[in-house]
Amino acid sequence: MQSQQLITVVFPGPDRAWAAWIARTLEAHGQRTSLHRWDPPREQDLTEALGDLLLTSGPVLLVLSERFFQLGPRREGEWDEALRGLVARNAGRFAAVALTDLPLSTAAALLEPVDLRGLDATEAERRLLARLDLEATPRENPNPRELVGARYPNDPPAVWGGVPRRNPRFTGRDELLARVQRTLMDAEPGASVCALVGMAGIGKTQVAVEYAHRYGSDYDVVWWIDADRRATLRERLAELAAALDLDTGPEIGERVRAVREALRTGEPYRRWLLVLDGWEEPEGADGLLPQGSPGHVLITSRNRAWRTSAEVVEMPGFDRAESTGYLLRRAPHLSADEAEEVAAELGDLPLALTQAASVLAESRMDAAEYLRRLRDGTTDLEGSEATLAAWSLVLNQLRASAPSSYALLRLCAAFAPGRIPIGLVSGLPAAELPESLRWIVSEPQGWARALDTLVGYSVLTRERPGGFPDGPDAQQEAVRMHPVVHSMIGRLTGDEDRAA
């Protein structure tokens, strides 16, 4: 490959960190690059969409991951058809790197992708250059881990605290995430505070989680704070003092002041991100947020009063393409027209769509039956009523097909929303539990299956990976229930169910 050609790096949104590192690496060796986030409309023929990438004059480097092949999604066999035809005719223009441990199709092998999984930065750089027939060139900073603005994606930030696990089912939102990033990056120095504002259940937390993971390689510190209670907010902010290795006393107030000063001055780290999830009361924010600092603050909230102290980004629902794409990925037995009808019925509300997709995927229910049940359950499907109707179907499905899971769900609903230390229940004597729940103590495998079902239906999320542990740490198991989910269950199960 000749030097100074323009290499177009094509990637799905979630793989931005890899694309940025690849581009910076190639630029460090004298190449010109262009980043191209690729998500062609499902209606566009895939061969045509891939052919459009060849309108540039130079090589096209595809960043292949499972997310790349989920774009659309596409009908079975469409990827193989497009790759066999187009790549075979333009083998000299296409190259690829692979980031997935899933087997690639035979047609994808035509791209001769080089595998970068699990490598250190030096070996990944060597393989990348070799795949593109580029010679390594001397540079001032020979360490590929330290390219300005592009940390090697396999290396986490120096401080990474409390960030929830990335949601593998996260769909779309690329434009929204890019807007949040621009809002933070383009702000005047010392004023980089963005508030992501929208109704409960619209997906604010999930967007913040994805932002932290997608752009985490841009920061040296990423610190997540559950900010729904002021006391918890202060405690988590104070805990950052130890993570930054600050010399401070034991009092919370002293540690908070030390953290604010360290973030304000950028010592020991200038590139930092604070995420404050669920901060509803802007009053007192000036006493907690670092002032005149070089880092970034991302807040999620339902309260639009943040306009006075932050740049507000309104959180919309899904657009229709995101809604249908999500449904088709979760429930591939649906047709595109059926996904369109379900999305329209639910008003493109993310939480309602999540529950709809869970029911459709778990039960293999056809769309016509789902819509019939949905319409029978409510006369007004606008706003929160759409979510309520979707939740009614979830509970009916659990009650009929997974009574143990339904009983466990009622138990979880007796706790406050948010973090639920559900593992503590397993340590109780059976006699102290209602008769309908005594199986929790005597049947640990049944417990695991019931919990797995609730997680599969997106009713709960786990705080720790894997199933319920069979050992002395079982009581440490914790789950989370979204406040909107908690509210829906409360409205639908009634006092008698919650007391059972």
User: How high is the mean pLDDT in each 10-residue block of the chain (500 residues)?
Assistant: 79 91 92 91 86 90 86 77 84 90 79 90 94 78 52 90 89 91 86 86 90 92 91 92 94 94 93 93 85 90 87 90 90 91 87 86 88 67 58 83 88 86 79 79 80 80 53 65 78 60
pLDDT of 207: 96
pLDDT of 341: 93
For the whole prediction, is pTM greater than 0.85?
no
User: How far is residue 182's CA from residue 172's CA, in Å, rounded to a whole number?
Assistant: 17
Q: Which CATH superfamily is domain 159-314 in?
A: P-loop containing nucleotide triphosphate hydrolases (3.40.50.300)
In angstroms and rounded to an integer, the radius of gyration of the C-alpha atoms of the chain is: 25
Which fold does the domain 6-146 belong to in CATH? Rossmann fold (3.40.50)
The DSSP call for residue 144 is G
Exposure class string for 112-134: b at 16+ Cβ within 10 A, else e: ebbebeebebeebbeebbebbeb
Q: Are 225 and 249 in contact (CB under 8 A)?
A: no
User: How far is residue 228's CA from residue 206's CA, in Å, rounded to a whole number?
Assistant: 16
Report CA torsion sign: 389, 395, 398, 399.
negative
Q: Are 172 and 325 in contact (CB under 8 A)?
A: yes
Q: Which secondary-structure segment (H or E) carries 35?
A: strand 32-37
3-state helix, strand, coil in the chain (%, to 5): 50, 10, 40
pLDDT of 342: 92
Q: Are 438 and 430 in contact (CB under 8 A)?
A: yes
pLDDT of 496: 47
pLDDT of 437: 80
Please give the torsion angle defined by the CA atoms of residues 98, 331, 174 and 75, in that order, rounded to the nearest 10 degrees. Answer: 60
CA 322 from chain center: how many Å? Answer: 14
**Single-letter amino acid code for the residue at 407:** A
User: How far is residue 344's CA from residue 347's CA, in Å, rounded to a whole number?
Assistant: 5
pLDDT of 456: 72
